[in-house]
Structure 1
Amino acid sequence: MIETNVDDRGVAEIVMNNPPVNALPVKGWFDLAAALQQAGADPAVRAVVLRAEGRGYNAGVDIKELQAAADHSALVGVNRGCAAAFAAVYDCPVPVIAAVHGFCLGGGIGLVGNADIIIASEDATFGLPEVDRGALGAATHLSRLVPQHRMRAMMYTSATATAAELHAFGSVLRVVPRDELRSAAFEVAHDIAGKDPAVIRAAKESLNGIDPWDPKRSYRFEQGFTFELNLTGVADKVRDEFGK
């Protein structure tokens, strides 16, 4: 589900591969967090490429796992798992380059929004269909990708944005044909890997330190409303209606 390889130039490649749509279960989110933490803790690693195999980059959480749970344990687990994975991207001591193809939805936005650099294929789309699932969250990270009013419109309507649009906003560095995505991400990663590693690690820590808000705290605030919607039964009602 989560695979890691490190090349001879110090670039760690972390790959999500959970067919059919890369929607991760509770364990998958924690495994991803662990892989990122392990890569960042390795002094030989100078940059990370976070990408995926399959039809799309990430479709968020595994809704079937939530629906199959007899209580709220899966909800608590996936919320904690998402928070851990998003934080692991943000806190990774070296730059994380997200290489995005196809759909990037829900939890995928949390990963990409916390990445340092985004390379996207021409077919990539980004969105938060949370309101159609009776949930909230990751507006924190979408706000790092699109302007505030666009973020609100996307949140309320579940609309998506294209890679070209995000490139125009400045949040996506490059848009490339899909068959060039991996090589384009590695080109940027190898450029970073060629710099002094101590300086790059210091740069990552300093840039996090000047962020205007703490995305980890902001996201956990959002999650409180998801818990509320589930505890009151609203989320189940919305998911049932959406599935009809």
Structure 2
Amino acid sequence: MSEQFFSDSYVEETRLGFLFLRSHTWQHHVLRVATNDLRSLFTEQPPHHPVILDAGCGQGKSFQYLHKVFNPAQILGVDADPLSLKLSAEEAQRRRLNVELIGSDCAALTLADASVDMVFCHQTFHHLVEQEKALAEFYRVLKPGGYLLFAESTEAYIDTWVIRWFFRHPMHVQKSAAQYLDMLRTEGFQFVAQNVSYPYLWWSRARDFGVLERLKLVKPKPFGEREETLVNVVARKPPQASLEGDTP
């Protein structure tokens, strides 16, 4: 694992967690599903051939799905871990994709104001300590009318024994689905109910990955009666947002 990071607040993943992010389960059942779900949440056509910032790109396994679903002109991959960036470069080369990689903290991006069409933040935000600063940076680098594709696990999932046993997260910044949505609105992002989903996938079931439900030993709680473990949002920076300062 790497020892020098591009962020003083970076919380290094466990060795098992790092290996899991290379697995078929992660790619097929998590990344692919989330990217397709985010595409379905658009209420208008997404930008044509967008420049996409993959915030917390990890080992680059998202690149193939972003390319397939959004056909970007370019992908910018940002991560605080040099080893992840090395593996991302190999992934981009293997798939012959146009990807520029940047070593950076998401809370202090080196990109220019209003320089990207979309920010893809998938299962990254709960790893970030300076979440408010990171969200402000996403808002800043997006063009007016650009989109934040936000897909997150909530505190109800992260703060379970199985996740805490095998993975490493900054626990003091974990939030509920409602709290994440409030953060987006406070920053100035706009979205309606049709732009939000609460996937209840087998791997996100708190405590047992849905095993007891599959064995019909317990009944799944319906929407509205359970504490959500996942939230996906397509949130838009207002088209009229000022290019000078870009504060909401």
**TM above 0.5, one fold?**
no
TM-score (norm 2): 0.30
Report the structure, 1 or 2, having the larger helix content: 1
TM-score by length of 1: 0.30
